[in-house]
Structure 1
Amino acid sequence: MNNIIINGESLTLEELAAVARKRYTVKIDEQAKDKILQSRKIVDKIVKENKVVYGITTGFGKFANVKISEGDCSKLQRNLIMSHACGAGDNLPTEVVRAIMLLRANALSKGFSGIRLSTLQTLIDMLNKGVHPLIPEKGSLGASGDLAPLAHMVLPMIGEGEAEYKGERMSGAQAMKLAGISTVQLAAKEGLALINGTQVMTAVGALNVYDSINLSRISDIAAALTLEALRGIKDAFDLRTHMIRRHDGQIVTAKRILELTEGSTFITNQGELRVQDAYSLRCIPQVHGASKDAINYVKEKVVIEMNSVTDNPIILENGDVISGGNFHGQPMALGFDFLGIALSELGNISERRLERLVNSQLNDLPAFLTKNGGLNSGFMITQYAAAALVSENKVLAHPASVDSIPSSANQEDHVSMGTIAARKSRSILENVKRVIATELMAACQAIDFREGYKLGKGTQAAYDTVRAAVDFIDKDKIMYTELKKVTDLITDEKF
């Protein structure tokens, strides 16, 4: 069985996706266990000496000035979980829940949170045995971390809430019993250690980044096919042009288009048919490249966050306990807003290329890519639907991170809205995926109207893959089923 070792330092995006989607199992690094045990000793010492330390022997938020007795420390942590579990909306997908559990376990394994090793092991056992808490998607301000959704994650650990186990929804207590995992009586600091962090926004956003990297590659394939279908000009992709601007994403995109179209006889030279192409063709490297650079920036920030301590308070190795603000989601909020904008632009330019494929006033192809126009509508309404999706994205791309609202009696007076930003970027990604699938399907349809030409090395492989899923549309048929086939196709990483 595939196994991922976590130590809070080196978790990768690829490992996260493997645990979330392929059910890889997780183990704590042996050296990390020593750090966890040492951190817990400090918490136990604080409780025994009756020191006043936030979140350990005090209440939370505005109640930080309320002293809690040693006898009530455990009850305080249980109350924290139950009172904070007040999420709303649909439950997060199982893959996101698994990513959340992994990220929280990874952060706790760094040894700055004061959790007991046995409690952390319970969370990992749940992940490995497939006990997936039901976590509502809404209710987090993104500071102090993702309190409400993470509280739902913890409920089954203490025998409460609901969970999914082997595909069935049931009580958290029943799921734990069926999986053979003992529930936990939380000790001092443990409830706070489990829920005070940015793992929900980071889990949603990290999977989005992973998928965005793949989708940006597919957008290049769709663009190359459209370029050939419209007999576009290859001179605009001459690397000498892009090297003198020096943006990495732009250079990478130009190289990919040239590689995909290598050997093509569809592609034309400058002045052969036209002097210049429209921007949606000519500026593919500049637009796709800018989105690639943005995605890579967000990836860098996400990987940092995946291996960070986002607790409050933080237990340092020398015994110092510091109340800071590492739970604040602003680094992720800004990144996920940026991700949504970058994805929106991939959709915007794809929809414009789609318009050039279906609009006979802009090409020399049959109107709406159908043989018997009038009786058949062909691809006419696919462009409508794509236009609706990209217009919706313009609304969704409005940044969540510029908003804030005070909470906890104004003690927590600036929040990130990072979880909303992450969720919005997911919606944008799904919309863009459908738009690019539509462009792919339309480009292949357009190519079939041209005879006597040869596709490029890469575009031929892409064309064959699409045609294995959907046929040339000779007469009108129910389009959403065909579009879904191509959407599912590009969701598969093998594409």
Structure 2
Amino acid sequence: MNVLLDPGAATLSQLSDIWAARRSVRLNPSAHPAIDAAARVVEQAAAGSAPVYGVNTGFGKLASVKIAAEDTSGLQRNLVLSHCCGVGEPLDVATTRLMMVLKLLSLGRGASGVALSTVTLLEDMLDAGVTPVIPVQGSVGASGDLAPLAHLAAAMIGEGEAVLDNARMPAGDAFEKAGLAPIVLGAKEGLALINGTQFSTACALAGLWGAWRNAATAVVTGALSTDAIMGSTSPLHPAIHALRGHAGQSAVAEAQRNLMRGSEIRESHRVGDTRVQ
């Protein structure tokens, strides 16, 4: 199933669906002109004489060092590879794919200056099931999730590792098997790919949706348990829970009443049940 996303307007429902089940994801083509326009601005800056940080200069303390136009691609590649310093177990595939989608949405705003081909590669990787191996430890979240996103960017240039068809392998091999070609980074593209909080955001969203699922499961198991022990539904009366004034409590009580409505077990002991608890 293909999910069409609008940068800046993606919903939690869309993202949850992508996280819960593998989906092919595409940006709305209406986003392409802005992406192309921003890329042209970066190309012009890279060819110009005025210093533009991260485009024709070094990074950090090397910001005052001018980079020749022919060296910009190598600069971006080195930036990515030098930040591939994550450690620990790999992030699960579902959350990694969500991270890729969030990066896709960010780049799709047309404010990062990456080429459309870079954006398209992320779409193609999601479609083909090529998932970069992202170590779970390494981000401090200050200037962005630099290390995790560097591992994502590394896979896009054919470096690092990726998962394809449940098998872990060198990213270059995964690309070849999937019929994809890695990109050569242009001016500023490495910087655009490793800056951002898509790793942290993906992990936070996965935690949120996992909590929602656990809460929903608890409501169902609570109703089943009450029914199994021939419990009373009287404690679920809305008037009781309205006294507390907690919307969530009232919603759970209503959900359990609805789940138990029409229960044959409940009907079997409704008459003559004198228990008060």
Interval of TM-score (by shorter of Structure 1 and Structure 2): 0.7 to 0.9
Deviation at 1:41, TM superposition (A): 1.7
Aligned length: 273
Aligned to 2:18: 19
Deviation at 1:186, TM superposition (A): 0.5
1:433 corresponds in structure 2 to: none
Decide whether aligned partners of structure 1 residues 157 and 266 sit closer, same or farther in structure 2, where only a CA change above 3 A counts. Answer: same
Q: Give, in angstroms, the shift of residue 128 of structure 1.
A: 1.0
The equivalent residue for 2:138 is: 139
Q: Indicate the residue corresponding to 1:56 in structure 2.
A: 55
CA deviations over 1:141-188 (Å, ceiling 9, x no partner): 122221111111111221211112223222111221222212211011
Match of residue 183 from structure 1: 182
Question: Which letter does structure 2 place at the counterpart of 1:31?
Answer: S
User: Mind listing any 5+ residue stretches in structure 2 that lack a counterpart?
Assistant: none
CA distance in 1, matches of 2:16, 2:60: 34
1:140 shift after superposition: 0.9
Partner of 1:157: 156
Provide, for residues 450-484 of structure 1, a one-character-per-residue CA deviation record: whole Å limited to 9, x for no partner: xxxxxxxxxxxxxxxxxxxxxxxxxxxxxxxxxxx
Match for 1:10: what amino acid? A
Matched position secondary structure for 2:25: strand
State the match for 1:76 in structure 2. 75
1:260 deviation in Å? 2.3
Tell me the alpha carbon deviations over residues 367-423 of structure 1, each in whole angstroms, 9 at most, x when there is no partner: xxxxxxxxxxxxxxxxxxxxxxxxxxxxxxxxxxxxxxxxxxxxxxxxxxxxxxxxx
Alignment of 1:293-304 (within 5 A): none
Structure 2 counterparts to residues 244-259 of structure 1, below 5 A: 244-259=243-258
Question: What do residues 190-230 of structure 1 show as CA deviations (whole Å, max 9, x unaligned)?
Answer: 01111111111222222332232222111112222333455
Greater shift in the superposed pair: 192-201 or 58-67: 58-67
Tell me the secondary structure at the aligned position of residue 172 of structure 2. Answer: helix
Partner of 1:357: none
* 8 Å Cα contact 2:133/2:161 also seen in 1: yes
- Aligned equivalents of 1:123, 1:37: Cα separation in 2: 16
Identity among equivalent positions (%) equals: 38
Question: Which amino acid in the other structure matches residue 148 of structure 1?
Answer: A
State the superposition RMSD in angstroms. Answer: 2.5
1:86-127 per-position Cα deviation (integer Å, ceiling 9, x unaligned): 110111122222111111111111111111001111121111
| CA–CA separation in structure 2 for the residues paired with 1:205 and 1:162 | 24
Contact 1:232 1:267 in 2 (8 A): no
Equivalence for 2:40: 41
For the residues of structure 2 that align with 1:267 and 1:234, how far apart are their CA atoms? 11
Structure 1, unmatched stretches of 5+, are 278-495
CA distance in 2 between counterparts of 1:136 and 1:212 reads 23
Q: d(CA) in 1 for partners of 2:236 and 2:259? A: 12
SS of match in other structure, 2:200: helix
Give the corresponding residue for 2:204. 205
SS of 1:120's partner is helix
- Following superposition, the deviation at residue 236 of structure 1 comes to 3.4
**Secondary structure of 1:99's partner?**
helix
Q: How does 1:321-470 map to 2 (within 5 A)?
A: none
Shift of the 218–75 alpha-carbon distance from structure 1 to 2, 3 Å rule, reads same
TM-score of the aligned structures, taking structure 1 as reference length: 0.51
Distance 1:226 1:67, change over 3 A: same
1:148 equivalent to 2:147? Answer yes
Q: Which residue of 2 aligns with 1:86?
A: 85
Give the whole-Å Cα distance in 2 for the aligned partners of 1:208 and 1:191.
28
Secondary structure, aligned partner of 1:5: strand
Native 8 Å contact 2:7 2:27 kept in 1 = no
C-alpha distance in 2 between matches for 1:212 and 1:65: 47
Provide the secondary structure at the position in 2 that maps to 1:112: coil
In structure 2, the partner of 1:126 is 125
Counterparts in 2 of 1:67 and 1:210: CA distance versus 1, 3 Å? same
Deviations 1:31-84 (CA, angstroms, capped at 9, x unpaired): 100110111122122222233333223333454444433332221110111000
2:275 counterpart residue number = 273
Partner of 1:225: 224
The Cα of 1:231 is off from its aligned counterpart by 5.5
Q: Which residue of 1 aligns with 2:29?
A: 30
Letter in 1 for 2:112: S
SS at match of 2:112: coil
